[in-house]
Chains A and B, each alone.
Chain A
Amino acid sequence: MTNVPIEGMLLPNEKPNHESPGNWKEYFSFSTDHKVIGIQYLVTSFFFFLVGGIFAMVMRGELMTPESDLVDRTVYNGMFTMHGTVMLFLWTFPSLVGFANYLVPLMIGARDMAFPRLNAVAFWMVPVVGIIMMGSFFIPGGPAQAGWWSYPPVSLQNPTGNLINGQVLWLLAVAISGVSSIMGAVNFVTTIVKMRAPGMGFFRMPLFVWAVFSAQIIQLFGLPALTAGAVMLLLDLTVGTAFFDPAKGGNPVMFEHYFWFYSHPAVYVIILPIFGIFSEIFPVYSRKPLFGYKVVAVSSILIAIVSGIVWVHHMYVSGTPGWMRLIFMLTTMFVSVPTGIKVFAWVATIWGGKLRLNTPMLFALGGLIMFVFAGITGIMLSSVPVDVHVNNTYFVVGHFHYVLYGTVTMGLYAAIYHWFPKMTGRMYSESWGKIHFWLAFIGTNLNFLPMHPLGLQGMLRRVASYAPEYQFWNVIASLGGFLLGISTLPFIFNMVISWMQGEKAPDNPWRAIGLEWMVSSPPPVENFEEIPIIISEPYGYGKSEPLTANLSNHNPD
């Protein structure tokens, strides 16, 4: 019997392909290599980061003056709706999944994800989501304008009368993105539970893997609620059911519950991997083991669990009775305990180390500082009486941008620079990286710090026009916003030029400890010639123990 080769299939007499994906065309193909998929996610999501950024520029342009004079109110409403949606569903989620895809198999000593084809399918749904979202700009009536919350009844009002309208496309895109996330979650959880290299017990896993594991478990319990809410809203909108439509006796507050039951924990789906990234980066550039490794690992799981019982803090001033407000205030505040443990561990890791302020470390430090700030305003928001005042004002917008830009986006940049040599086999330019950091750090604070006084003064979010007394801080915020827009230029420049003609990177340029640094840069297709056997905990800086029994350990010196 002759073997009929099928494209992409390995024949028994062929050697496994240990070539790196040298050909750029591979990144445009249906590859099942977790590393190619990881980079596909990263590049695609960065494209949408720029799209969401352009929408942000339009908003900040409009808010330079108190009057609504740059764009129509309808355009402004479409802008903040699409900005929020794109930034969450097409930038933070996919880019973090991209990193998880790239790093998890390498970090746990596996050859690939558990279900490589499912992985590829999940990725290819992301461009589909993007096309549907962007396509909604070209239909009569334009894109959805109900905010990324899409609270009914506003989201049920359809002035065009068309069946295909911005809101329907929005719900469709979000649903597809949810399906893609569920596929990813099943894949990650299976991979982490089943495919760890021999010797890698749970307490020998790197903290990034712990973080991804906790985050993906949230996806598994949370997404069904969001999906149910979205489907019910879609039915209300298209065939006229009455789940949420008060005109027909429905209850719009129920939608808020469905929505936030997922969307609060979703915040942790985003932030946990960033905590993981911090935990990977601080030990390397401080040259110390991560302080309190086990406690930090467990705190990720704790955060995932507590995050499931806090969603009502988004609804204190909605249809929520007093006793419920107070219960959820307490649960919300308790999230700060596992989070505080992490912050303390990072500070203790850095303390007394031998710090090296390379670009990744700068971004991680800047991100940590802005996260502490965000955590403090977060505690203020969790207090019911304070929230009664600042809910839905710019104070909240300032708070969550300190999380989403100050922490998440800065953390993502840290990760991109840190693993760039591994992914591309080339070094980036350190000086351009530092310019990028300072522009981004100053821009973020200039943009989002003024939002706090604005919110305390009572300026509302989602407004295209405002009272003249709010103009001063808005102009500062807008200038900071434009600076943030500009800050992406040195980054793009650095990445493109360095990827094409940067200096060749060694396997372990940072002298880091971790399986991913023991393979070549970029890693070969199936990662490991021989699956490593793990014999110690990660982060063994300052100790002479090797990490594995059969791969040469690049322990410095």
Chain B
Amino acid sequence: MNIQKILNILTLLTGAIAVTVISLWIGKQSYSWLPPQAAAESVLIDDLISFLVTLGAFIFLGVTSTLMYSVIFHRAVKDDFTDGPSIEGNITLEVVWTAIPILLVLWIAGYSYQVYEKMGIQGPSEIVHLHNPLGMESAYAEAKDAPALAEPVEKIDVLAKQWAWVFHYPERDVTSTELHLPSDRRIRLALRSQDVLHGFYIPAFRLKQDIIPNHAIDFEFTPIRPGKYSLTDSQYSGTYFATMQANVIVESPEDYQQWLAKIATQKPSPAKNQAAAEYAQTSHQSVQTGWVTVPPAAPPLVNSPG
């Protein structure tokens, strides 16, 4: 075996090890690119993202370093217009290269399927009447190693309209523009829209679901980290789309109960609403056209205007 060949193999090996190590490191970094993990589901999703980032980094670095190697070492000398080796194909290599993506796809799909199943977020299953084949185990059980069935469920109604969120707590029949959630409990939302498509999205929970007029969509998850987060509208809903935000407060079940009890004593009053405020006021933008817009819905009357 000649020296050149051994050197080539060594170069290749070092390269492969370097790419692997760097990819693993990038995969670890990916957690820091994400918001805090405030729901049990977010833990599962972040692991999946980290896995995909590792794999992706490996592929990306592999391809680019091969290309860069060629660009640096396989340049034609000036005025040399002769051809390179006339290699047209290599059946073994082509078969291997088709098998690799197929196996990767099956791996990624299998892992994604598992995560999705554990999340058990529900969603609009009633639109097509088919038995949902997925066991609805919850992500909470996964995160805390606790039996899923023991989880108590908290039901809350969510109403979206242009451009405001209203939360209704059937247990006490009270409403609010702030979403309060007891931590470590399974939450079941019934999502409804009054006018156009909206999207329920809490980045800290990694969870999102479009809301479709004329359909009540069930949506389930388990908050695990007390704190204040934001809920945004994720499906473009017209002029004041960007202002359609609400606070999400995750607190202990006791604090949650106290809050419910407190607002139950308050009289409904109109909530603050940015879209309505902007609509009423002449705006300060430097470029104004005065194009007419859909007027915002009246500010909601709620027990807790936030």
A293 lies within 8 A of chain B by Cβ: yes
Known A347-B66, A347-B67, A351-B70; contact A71-B286, beta-carbon cutoff 8 A: yes
Residue B235, interface by CB 8 Å: yes
- Tell me whether B20 is interfacial, beta carbon within 8 Å: no
Q: Which residues of A contact B293 (CB under 8 A)?
A: 73-74, 159
**Interface 9-mer from B168-176, B236-244, B255-263, B265-273:** B236-244
CB < 8 Å: which of B75, B130, B209 contacts A323? B130
A288 to B88, CA, bound (A): 8
From residue 101 to 133 of chain B, which have CB atoms closer than 8 A to chain A? 101-102, 104-105, 108-109, 112-113, 115-116, 119, 121, 123-125, 127-128, 130, 132-133
Contact among B59, B116, B242 for A385, CB-based, below 8 A: B116
In Å, the complex CA distance between A38 and B292 comes to 41
Docked Cα-Cα span, A317 to B212, in Å, equals 11
B residues 37-88 with Cβ under 8 Å of A?
A: 44-45, 48-49, 52-53, 56, 59-60, 63-64, 66-67, 70-71, 74-76, 80-88
For B118, give the chain A residue with the smallest CB separation: A385
Say if the beta carbon of A466 comes within 8 Å of chain B: yes
Closest to A380 in B: B52
Contact of B199 with A317 in the complex, beta carbons under 8 Å? yes
Kindly provide the distance from the CB of B224 to the nearest chain A CB, expressed in whole angstroms: 16
Interface residues of A in 277-315 (CB under 8 A from B): 286-295
Are B127 and A253 in contact, CB atoms less than 8 angstroms apart? yes
Contact A460 B292 (CB under 8 A): no
Q: Are A326 and B116 in contact (CB under 8 A)?
A: yes
Contact residues, B205-253 vs A (CB, 8 A): 206-210, 212-215, 217, 230, 232-243
List residues of A (439-475) whose CB comes within 8 Å of B's CBs: 453, 456-458, 460-467
- Residues of A179-208 at the interface with B, using a CB-CB cut-off of 8 Å, are none
CA distance in complex: A72, B85 (Å): 60
Residues on the B chain within 8 Å of A246, using CB: 212-214
- Contact across chains for A74 and B239 when beta carbons are under 8 A apart: yes
Q: Is A496 an interface residue (CB 8 A)?
A: no
Hey, what's the 0/1 contact readout for A251-294 against B, CB within 8 Å counting as 1? 11100000000000000000000000000000000111111111
Provide the bound-state CA to CA distance between A71 and B59, in Å.
42
| Cβ B56 vs Cβ A380 within 8 A | yes
**Contact residues in B for A70 (Cβ distance below 8 Å):** 285-287
Q: A157-B294, A457-B35 are in contact. Are A288 and B123 (CB under 8 A)?
A: no
* Nearest 7 Cβ contacts at the A-B interface: A458-B203, A542-B86, A246-B213, A463-B242, A376-B56, A354-B76, A542-B83
Known: A292-B89, A323-B133, A388-B121. A350 touches B70 (CB 8 A): yes
Q: Is the CB of A373 within 8 A of B232?
A: no
Q: B33, B87, B199, B204: which has the most chain A beta carbons within 10 Å?
A: B87
Measured CB to CB, the residues of A under 8 A from B are 68-75, 77-78, 140-142, 145-147, 151-154, 157, 159-160, 246-247, 249, 251-253, 286-295, 317-326, 329-330, 333-334, 336-337, 340-341, 343-344, 347-348, 350-357, 365, 368-369, 372-373, 376-377, 379-380, 383-386, 388-389, 391-393, 453, 456-458, 460-467, 511, 540-543, 556-557
Task: Considering the complex, give the chain B residue whose CB is closest to the CB of A337.
Answer: B101
Min Cβ gap B134→A in Å is: 5
Smallest Cβ-Cβ distance to A541: which chain B residue: B83
Q: Which of B268-306 contact A (CB under 8 A)?
A: 278, 283-289, 291-295
Pairwise interchain contact A71-B287, C-beta atoms closer than 8 A = yes
Are B109 and A541 in contact (CB-based, < 8 A)? no
Q: Could you tell me the distance in whole angstroms from the C-beta of B60 to the nearest C-beta in chain A?
A: 6
Q: In the complex, A291→B70 CA distance in Å? A: 15
Q: Is the CB of B208 within 8 A of A391?
A: yes
Residues of B within 8 A of A247 (CB): 213
CB neighbours (8 Å) of B87 from chain A are 288-289, 291, 348, 352
With A246-B214, A379-B56 as contacts: A463 and B116 at CB distance below 8 Å? no
How many angstroms between the C-alpha atoms of A365 and B66 in the bound complex? 12
27 residue pairs from A and B, CB less than 8 Å apart: A71-B285, A72-B285, A72-B288, A73-B293, A75-B285, A145-B239, A288-B83, A293-B89, A294-B89, A319-B212, A321-B128, A325-B116, A325-B123, A336-B105, A340-B97, A343-B63, A354-B80, A357-B75, A373-B60, A379-B52, A380-B52, A386-B49, A388-B207, A392-B199, A392-B236, A393-B234, A458-B203
Knowing that A385-B116, A540-B86 are A-B contacts, what are 8 other residue pairs whose CB atoms are under 8 Å apart, sorted by A's residue number?
A: A73-B240, A74-B291, A75-B287, A319-B124, A319-B127, A321-B125, A389-B49, A391-B208
A333, A336, A393, A464, most chain B CB atoms within 10 A: A333
Question: What are the residues of chain A within 8 A of B283 when measuring CB–CB?
Answer: 72
- What residue in chain B is nearest A466 (Cβ atoms)? B242
B133 and chain A: residue at smallest CB distance: A323
Q: What CA separation (Å) do A246 and B115 show in the bound complex?
A: 33
How far apart sit A348 and B93, CA to CA, in the bound complex (Å)? Answer: 10
B84, B86, B206, B230 — which one has the most chain A CB atoms within 10 A of its CB?
B84
Contact of A160 among B85, B133, B292 (CB under 8 A): B292
A353's nearest neighbour on chain B, judged by CB, is B84
Q: Assess whether B196 is in contact with A157, with CB atoms less than 8 Å apart.
A: yes
Q: How far is the CA of A157 from the CA of B125 in the complex (A)?
A: 28
B94 close to A (CB within 8 Å): yes
B3 within 8 A of A: no
Alpha-carbon distance A291/B89, docked complex (angstroms) = 5
Q: Is the CB of A72 within 8 A of B291?
A: yes
Chain A residue numbers with a CB within 8 Å of B125 are: 321-322
Given A153-B213, A379-B52, A383-B48, does the pair A321, B123 have CB atoms closer than 8 Å? Answer: yes
The smallest C-beta distance from B52 to any residue of chain A, in angstroms, reads 5
Min CB–CB distance B115 → chain A (angstroms): 5
Q: Which residue of A lies closest to B88 (CB)?
A: A289
What distance in Å separates the Cβ of B175 from its nearest Cβ neighbour in chain A?
A: 23
Contacts of B294 in A (CB 8 A): 157, 159
Q: Tell me if B289 and A383 are in contact (CB < 8 A).
A: no
Q: Are B213 and A252 in contact (CB under 8 A)?
A: yes
> Which residue of A is nearest B120, CB measured?
A322
Instruction: Report the minimal beta-carbon distance from B163 to chain A, rounded to whole angstroms.
Output: 11
- Could you tell me the distance in whole angstroms from the C-beta of B123 to the nearest C-beta in chain A? 6
